[in-house]
Amino acid sequence: MAWRGWSQRGWGCGQAWVAPVGGRGCEELTVALAPPRLFGRRFNFVIQQKCGFRKAPRKVEPRRSDTGTSGKAHKRSALIPPVEETAFYPSPYPIRTLIKPLFFTVGFTGCAFGSAAIWQYESLKSRVQNYFDGIKADWLDSIRPQKKGDFRKEINKWWNNLSDGQRTVTGIIAANVLVFCLWRVPSLKLTMTRYFTSNPASKVLCSPMLLSTFSHFSLIHMAANMYVLWSFSSSIVNLLGQEQFVAVYLSAGVISNFVSYVCKVATGRYGPSLGASGAIMTVLAAVCTKMPEGRLAIIFLPILTFTAGNALKAIIAMDTAGLILGWKVFDHAAHLGGALFGIWYVTYGHELIWKNREPLVKMWHEIRTNGPKKGGGSK
């Protein structure tokens, strides 16, 4: 590649003009400048300049949540949303990351069971009132002309034909469907990733532990979880009751996410998780522990049946192997956390927590019956 250069004397330091011979880019140019004599000697300066197309500056990519301590990116599961646009920041002190989630888990679980106890008290009071209101409503319906094709009446008929468990989980399923639809709104993608996926490397740690329990990115994932929840709803509500079941389900979602946090911090395999699998594993483990001889079947293979106890053992073994071998398809730590919580609760937790709710219910009864005492005088 040829270049031509000129030099002009008469200036203090000399100048040079260069012009390419041809229209192509340049790689390297050497120009000799001849300044005036200095101290009786002549100095030749050689200046080398690289020109041509500059390399584009490298973009500083944020730390991805799917990189571990080894720096090798693992394959992202198709069940979670892509998080290329979201930056995660693992703490330099990982153990401190678990302090706030720990307090949130304990506090939320206590509030969930306390609220469930008060809810049960209010439900018992309302049932008595609804009994008398129902008698009056039936008498009015008998003398009132009936409307044919009343849509509201058909909905009430369908609702009344559902079991208590199915009516209870209908609200949970509706919440999951709503969150699934929100994932399909492009403008909400970053917000959903921040608040509806749980990750110990995220800036928001506590609220996603609950919200991610109602969050699904894949339709197949949501459909499978909701089918299992619907199938076991009658058994778990008959076992625990409506109010206690809701407290156990919500607490299981938070507890399973905390176990996932602990495993991610311990292994350095940070990544987002979402889905109701942890809470549903609690439901499944509780039913299988109480009814180990019950017969279960796979939806695609109804001919193949097995006992509930054997099914629970197989699930725990598979999730244990996935956790040890580092499988990335599911959050096996959350599955194990939910299953162990379900086994513990029906074995010991029911006696320790739910049966000791009487002092709280009495205190609430006093507040509801007498109200806050007026006056500050002491007796």
SS3 content of the chain, % helix, strand, coil (to 5): 55, 10, 35
DSSP result, 6-66:
EEE-SSSS-EEEEEESSSS--S-EEEEE-PPPBTTB---EEEEE--SPPPPPPP-PPPPTT
Distances (CA, A) of 189 to 63, 76, 157, 194: 19, 17, 39, 9
**DSSP code per residue over 349-367:** IHHHTGGG-HHHHHHHHHH
Q: How far apart are the first and last CA of the chain?
A: 106
Beta-sheet strands, E only, within 269-328: 295-298, 301-307
List the Cα angle 334/335/338 in 5-degree steps: 85
Give the active site residues.
Answer: 277, 335
